[in-house]
Chains A and B, each alone.
Chain A
């Protein structure tokens, strides 16, 4: 901004503060609810200050000793399932996208144009669109209630392939030629030059894909039926029993807070790299 008027600055900050409050208040409420007993929460008005049952509630949620009417599976186990799936999806996507982008950009092979367009077209087919046939395939392969079933169908990624393709196209041709003269074969060039150069893009993708994997809801809802393979997002849903049954809202809220933590940690820790990967073209 070129203008420097105090009134405008105050207004701008006010708008921002209101915005933050709108976003943050529900999270605060979730946290407050997770520190009371189930009976205290359902009273009106609900308490707005943290209560004394924090440790108790979180322990109950993590170990699955709650007494709600819905599922009381241990959240600790769910967190492990979520973490493993999110990491497998993330690393799988990055590895496959790097390799396919490498192939599309640097090799001349028959039907290269077709391959490129096939990848491009899948952009239009997210999991939700092909969910029926995909479920059939996964079920026939006996991958229901397994990590493979949770992750493999989500790994192929046109978006990441494109991101890497765009990046590879900006790598100067002379670098490829210099590597050829230095005697580096294709895979050597990939390992020693391309991957190190892509590391900021990889970091950005890691953040995006980890959150994507962690937040998966629809697909795990279909392919997991056993409590020991629930990701945490599904766990929350299962804890909420239908009808008038007494829901352990305090534990639901504690689980929600737990489910929010890992993505938040990833974003905070990798923020610098994330921004760099999206903004910077380091050459």
Chain B
């Protein structure tokens, strides 16, 4: 049975609807990441699960019990906030113990739980400090500790790593993964960072403008994006999308007055207006299928990004080759049949062929 079930949940603020019916069932122990650009409704969705925002429509069930009208404290959840939200005047120990104390738990049990969480998070030496005396990473761990001691059914994370610097973020991301493996608590995690989404999530919800564009495993999201939005949002740099019309025999894409020869003819789409999607890392220089002009090349160290133009459309090639073309060159690009994604330009949805 699913631990957390969100059924067609909607949220409106007055006239403005910010979440248009999202549904997902999160299994016990599963780690689900909600990712999307700012303002897509991902935080609102999380806050509805937490009980900090009222639900305008649909149902949220935790452990099989509908919690729409329950106070946050009665929902059996714990939440980690972006800015940690630690009580500034309390010691680390009291920060973690506060929720348990309010619940009227015995002193010994509180102590046991807090010490256990402190041990897991390596906070034992810091229990007497105040939040002000801690570094960002340590505060983050205390915020996690405050969630852990409650032994909740569901963990909610609201962009917990956004306030950390890049290096610490990578480290905390690994720690989060370890922690989840160790505790196995069902988690819902909101982020705008696609790397966090891809690495942490067992399943990902990609949200855009209040709708779930796609729900799936990181592999599915990357390999079979269901919409052009997902194709553009996941992957860095985003997937190249070339607008054009397929030739009558389905063997070539006519775009910007050029004919792009396809690795395998696609008869089912012959004559249709389509978007051809290829990821920058799956393009290769010198394939001969597509002639483009080089606009700019960027060296990233491990590999290079080559920005090209095909008429008015732009493409990016990601290559590990040391010898890279320079601006003004004309080069050819190639790609394999397996790297091709088709989208309908009118609906922006994926077209599955053969």
Q: Which residue of A lies closest to B94 (CB)?
A: A192
A164 to chain B, nearest CB (A): 16
Check B85 against A183 for contact (C-beta < 8 Å): no
Known A-B contacts A180-B71, A183-B102; the reply to A197 vs B89 at CB < 8 A is yes
| Chain B residues within 8 Å of A178, by CB | 79, 81, 85-87, 146
A175 in contact (CB, < 8 A): yes
Q: Which residue of B lies closest to A183 (CB)?
A: B73
Q: Which residue of A lies closest to B104 (CB)?
A: A183
| Chain B residues within 8 Å of A192, by CB | 87, 98
| Chain A residues within 8 Å of B52, by CB | 177, 180-181
Q: Within the assembled complex, what's the spacing in Å between the Cα atoms of A192 and B99?
A: 12
B345 in contact (CB, < 8 A): no
Q: Within the assembled complex, what's the spacing in Å between the Cα atoms of A93 and B102?
A: 29
Which of A175, A184, A188, A282 is B85 in contact with, Cβ under 8 Å? A175
Which residues of chain B (260-303) have a CB below 8 Å from chain A?
A: none
Please tell me the size bucket of the interface on B: 20 to 34
Check B81 against A174 for contact (C-beta < 8 Å): yes
A30 to chain B, nearest CB (A): 43
Which of A174, A180, A193, A197 is B83 in contact with, Cβ under 8 Å? A174
| Chain B residues within 8 Å of A110, by CB | none
A179 to chain B, nearest CB (A): 8
Which residues of chain B (77-105) have a CB below 8 Å from chain A?
A: 77-79, 81-89, 98-99, 102-103
Which of B72, B83, B87, B89 is A181 in contact with, Cβ under 8 Å? B72
Q: Is the interface of B mostly helix, strand, loop or mixed?
A: loop
B79 to chain A, nearest CB (A): 5
| Chain B residues within 8 Å of A174, by CB | 81-85
B50 in contact (CB, < 8 A): yes
Check B88 against A183 for contact (C-beta < 8 Å): no
B253 to chain A, nearest CB (A): 50
A244 in contact (CB, < 8 A): no
A187 to chain B, nearest CB (A): 12
| Chain B residues within 8 Å of A199, by CB | 89
Q: Within the assembled complex, what's the spacing in Å between the Cα atoms of A184 and B103?
A: 9
| Chain B residues within 8 Å of A283, by CB | 88
A47 to chain B, nearest CB (A): 54
Q: Within the assembled complex, what's the spacing in Å between the Cα atoms of A177 and B49?
A: 13
Q: Within the assembled complex, what's the spacing in Å between the Cα atoms of A282 and B88?
A: 8
A72 to chain B, nearest CB (A): 51
Q: Within the assembled complex, what's the spacing in Å between the Cα atoms of A90 and B285?
A: 79
A6 in contact (CB, < 8 A): no
Check B88 against A181 for contact (C-beta < 8 Å): no
Check A182 against B81 for contact (C-beta < 8 Å): no
Q: Within the assembled complex, what's the spacing in Å between the Cα atoms of A224 and B79?
A: 58
Which of B71, B77, B88, B102 is A197 in contact with, Cβ under 8 Å? B88
Q: Which residue of A lies closest to B131 (CB)?
A: A283
A196 in contact (CB, < 8 A): yes
| Chain A residues within 8 Å of B82, by CB | 174
A172 in contact (CB, < 8 A): yes
Check B85 against A182 for contact (C-beta < 8 Å): no
Check A181 against B98 for contact (C-beta < 8 Å): no
B350 to chain A, nearest CB (A): 38
B82 to chain A, nearest CB (A): 8
Q: Within the assembled complex, what's the spacing in Å between the Cα atoms of A197 and B130?
A: 13
Most chain A beta carbons < 10 A, residue from B51, B77, B102, B103 = B102
| Chain A residues within 8 Å of B146, by CB | 178, 182
The 3 closest A-B pairs by CB, nearest first: A183-B73, A182-B99, A174-B85
Q: Which B positions have Cβ atoms within 8 angstroms of A?
A: 50-52, 71-73, 77-79, 81-89, 98-99, 102-103, 146
Q: Give me 26 A-to-B residue pairs in the complex whose CB atoms sit less than 8 angstroms apart, sorted by A's number.
A: A172-B83, A172-B85, A174-B82, A174-B84, A175-B85, A175-B87, A177-B52, A178-B79, A178-B146, A180-B51, A180-B52, A180-B71, A181-B50, A181-B51, A181-B73, A181-B77, A181-B79, A182-B99, A183-B71, A183-B99, A184-B98, A184-B102, A188-B102, A193-B87, A196-B89, A282-B88
